[in-house]
Every structure is written in C-alpha cells, then in structure tokens.
Amino acid sequence: MRCPYDEISLTWNHPVVEEIANINETAKTEFIYLGRTYLKAKEYVGVIQIGDTTFQILPKIDSDPTGDSESPISTKAYEAAVDSATRNLLYFLSYTHNFPIREQEIASPSARRANLLCNLLNINTSFGNPMIY
C-alpha cells in the first residue's frame, strides 16, 4: 500500500525519510520504497523506529471484515485492519517454536492498543528472553 507523506506528516526531504534512505543503503536492500510523494513497504514485515516515529510494516493478512488497509490512516476501518493484521502476524509467529506466544496475549485488549514493537518486546520479555537487536 502506498502511504502519502502528507498522511503521516512527513515530506520527501524530512529527516526521518532521509534516515530510512540511510537504513536501506546500509542494509543494501530496500525495506521501504521512498517515492517523491509517498513511501511503500516492500516484501518485509517488522518495525522501524526512528526517534519518536514508528513504522509498523504488517503483512496483508487482515481477516476483519470491517477492516480496510486502504482507508485513510486515522479511520476505524484502517485501525481494524491494523489490529487484525497484528493479531494474525503474532499468531503466525507463535508457530516458530522459538517465539512462545500464548493465545491470550494475541487477543488481549492491551495488545490491540499497543504497536507491534511493544507487543513483541512485552511477549518476549514475559518469558525471560529479552530481545536486543
């Protein structure tokens, strides 16, 4: 999905966008495509945090019928899609066997309100396995 810069209060020459360009260059891969008027996630999922700005890159596995990831970012339909995709990603991660996630953590109201990075950190540290990358 294309995300216009103006929807997330950025411009093509904003320091956060410049830092994404640096991340792409350092990694020698394009995690996020940076267009002149928009950015677009590539074939990765995860979280990129730059200062106070957090990008959640979620898979297109929204199963909530009220969700619509193509809706404007602040709408209920968009939030429903994000909640559903986050729960589905955490569910799929639970099958890695190296990342223990309990069903109640996936379904909890606090998990739905938190961003993906907070969910991953909270779940992993609750099992005594702090993630530091």
Spatial distance between the Cα atoms of 77 and 64, rounded to a whole number of angstroms = 9
pLDDT in tens, the chain (133 residues): 788 898 889 999 999 999 999 999 999 999 999 999 999 988 888 888 898 888 888 777 766 777 777 788 778 888 888 888 877 777 777 777 666 555 554 554 444 455 665 655 555 544 444 444 4
CB neighbour list of residue 2: distance below 8 Å, 6 or more residues apart: 35, 38, 39, 40
Spatial distance between the Cα atoms of 103 and 48, rounded to a whole number of angstroms = 25
